[in-house]
């Protein structure tokens, strides 16, 4: 799997989990008090941690690299950056 595909997969997970979290936090959802509210609060907290973790993972997979010309190389016809290993 290329780095580009890995970043796309992580981005998809971040998007899905962020949407789920936003849906749970919508004000029109009245979870009331008690067990349901506690479960939703727990889910929101868990989703927040997962999104934070996925953002860290994404930064490790694709660091902030400007892909300078002197760092370009070609392998099997595919141009990539030797600094961050990202396909160009």
Q: Where are the domains positioned within the chain?
A: 3-81
pLDDT band at 26 (very low <50, low <70, confident <90, very high): confident
pLDDT at 1 over 70: no
In whole angstroms, how far apart are CA 49 and each of 4, 17, 46? 24, 10, 5
The pLDDT value recorded for residue 3 is: 74
The pLDDT value recorded for residue 53 is: 96
- Summary mean pLDDT of the chain: 83
Write out the two tokens for 66.
């400007």
Task: For tokens 């999104």, name the residue.
Answer: 51
pLDDT in tens, 28-51: 777 667 777 788 889 999 999 999
The pLDDT value recorded for residue 80 is: 76
Please state, in angstroms and rounded to a whole number, the distance separating the CA atoms of residues 9 and 19: 15
């Amino acid at each position: 799997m290329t780095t580009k595909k890995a970043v796309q997969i992580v981005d998809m997970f971040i998007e899905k989990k962020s949407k789920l979290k936003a849906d749970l936090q919508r004000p029109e959802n009245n979870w009331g008090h008690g067990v349901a509210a506690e479960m939703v609060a727990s889910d929101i907290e868990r989703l927040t941690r997962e999104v934070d973790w996925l953002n860290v993972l994404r930064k490790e997979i694709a660091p902030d690299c400007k892909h300078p010309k002197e760092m370009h190389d070609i392998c099997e016809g595919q141009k990539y950056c030797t600094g961050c290993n990202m396909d160009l």
